[in-house]
Amino acid sequence: MGDEPLDHHRVPLRSRQRPRRYEVDPYILDHTESGTYLIGYSHAHGEVRVFKVDRIRAVEQTAREFEPVDLDRLAETLRNSWGGVVIGESRYDVVIDFSPSVADRIRESYWHVSQELEMLPEGGVRLKVSLPSLLEITPWVLSWGPEAVVVAPDELRERVASLVKAAAQRYP
């Protein structure tokens, strides 16, 4: 993870999408495959939040200082998410079965710190991971098309099934 500790001054942020202003105590600037993110305490939300840098219109440094949280603990929390940018206290035990045609690709890759792989009788593979959110893994599962089947949790299985059905309806 390419996390960098930031200056200990609060910064007001203005969002590009919605003209909102957030005052944030910046903790980490994290560079991931999906973009660069600012992780910090949002005074508007009353909790640590993740802000995609591409969506920030302006940043100003204030004279107000703050004491940062335990950055090692925060970095560990981020490592437990699927894509490295979702913070959550929830725990989802995710189980996905992959067909034999993609089993080698699943087995040869390191997907997550909690991953467990299990061979299936017909040559497929089962991936098990424990995540704080289902937000990031949903599009990843969809990217495997019919080669992936969500076994658990039901919430993810139902969401993926709903999205696949909605996509199929767009192809008459």
pLDDT digits (tens, 9 = 90+) for 115-165: 999 999 999 999 999 998 898 899 999 999 999 999 999 999 999 999 999
Distance CA 24, CA 32 (A): 20
pLDDT at position 64 is: 85
pLDDT at position 103 is: 97
Residue 71's pLDDT band, with cuts at 50, 70 and 90, is confident
List the beta bridge partners of residue 15. 56
Q: Which of 140, 138, 133 is nearest to 106 (CA)?
A: 140
Distance CA 148, CA 68 (A): 41
pLDDT at 4 over 90: no
Distance CA 159, CA 138 (A): 8
- 11 token code pair: 């910064």
Residue 59's pLDDT band, with cuts at 50, 70 and 90, is confident
This prediction's pTM: 0.74
72-118 pLDDT tens trace: 888 888 788 887 767 777 899 999 999 999 999 999 999 999 999 99
Radius of gyration of the chain (CA): 19
Distance CA 55, CA 58 (A): 9
Whether the Cβ atoms of residue 44 and residue 67 lie closer than 8 Å to each other? no
Whether the Cβ atoms of residue 94 and residue 131 lie closer than 8 Å to each other? yes
Whether the Cβ atoms of residue 134 and residue 156 lie closer than 8 Å to each other? yes
Domains of the chain, each with CATH number or no CATH: 2-79 (2.30.30), 92-169 (3.30.70)
